[in-house]
């Protein structure tokens, strides 16, 4: 099931599978090759709660999401996404720092970046908090403008 919610970074499609949030998609939504999100279910409890928590996050009232999550990915991707959830609100980490936290060398930064870019639940799993080693904003599946807005919300309370 899925629903749509408005946000400062554009409409978001929230997708639920088996009682857990499985995707947060940026508009324009994926079509070709993407899993079918199923039927629209605006009143599904997981989707209602996800929309509520996202609204609170965007309003600066929520720092930590408390939702059942079910991102689909490889074991390595799952490890990276779990590590992303340890980066605190308003904090950032480089790809190399994430790799080292996973017990890998800095050389694994590229693999971490690829896994980061495939995160199916952005915002909730905070892939926007990963930046370049020199502090620059680097790639973001939703676009650098969205990444900048998300970091601004957390660091400055500004949109």
pLDDT tens for the chain, residues 1 to 159: 999 999 999 999 999 999 999 999 998 887 755 667 789 999 999 999 999 999 999 999 999 999 999 999 999 999 999 999 999 999 999 999 999 999 998 889 999 999 999 999 999 999 999 998 877 787 777 888 999 999 999 987 654
Place of tokens 């929230």: 14
Look up 63 and say whether it is catalytic: no
**Angle between helical axes of 75-84 and 109-117 (0-180°, round to 10):** 90
Note whether 114 and 128 are within 8 A (CB): no
Q: Are 158 and 148 in contact (CB under 8 A)?
A: no
Residue 131 forms beta bridges with which residues? 94
pLDDT at 28: 85
Give exposure, 51-64, as e/b (b: 16+ Cβ within 10 Å).
Answer: bebbeebbeeeeee
- Which is catalytic among the residues 54, 98, 99, 127? 127
* pLDDT score recorded for residue 159: 47
């Amino acid at each position: 099931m899925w629903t749509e919610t408005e946000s400062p970074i554009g409409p978001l499609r929230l997708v639920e599978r088996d009682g857990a949030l499985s995707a947060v998609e940026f508009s324009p939504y994926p079509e070709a090759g993407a899993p079918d999100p199923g039927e629209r279910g605006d009143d599904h409890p997981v989707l209602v709660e996800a929309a509520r928590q996202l609204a609170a996050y965007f309003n600066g009232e929520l720092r930590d999401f408390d939702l059942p999550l079910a991102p689909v990915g490889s074991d390595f991707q799952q490890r990276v996404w779990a590590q992303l959830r340890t980066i605190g609100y308003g904090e950032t980490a480089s790809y190399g720092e994430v790799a080292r936290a996973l017990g890998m060398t800095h050389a694994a930064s590229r693999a971490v970046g690829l896994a980061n870019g495939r995160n199916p639940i952005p915002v909730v799993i905070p892939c926007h908090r990963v930046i370049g080693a020199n502090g620059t904003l680097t790639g973001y599946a939703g676009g650098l403008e969205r990444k900048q807005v998300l970091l601004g919300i957390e660091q400055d309370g500004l949109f």
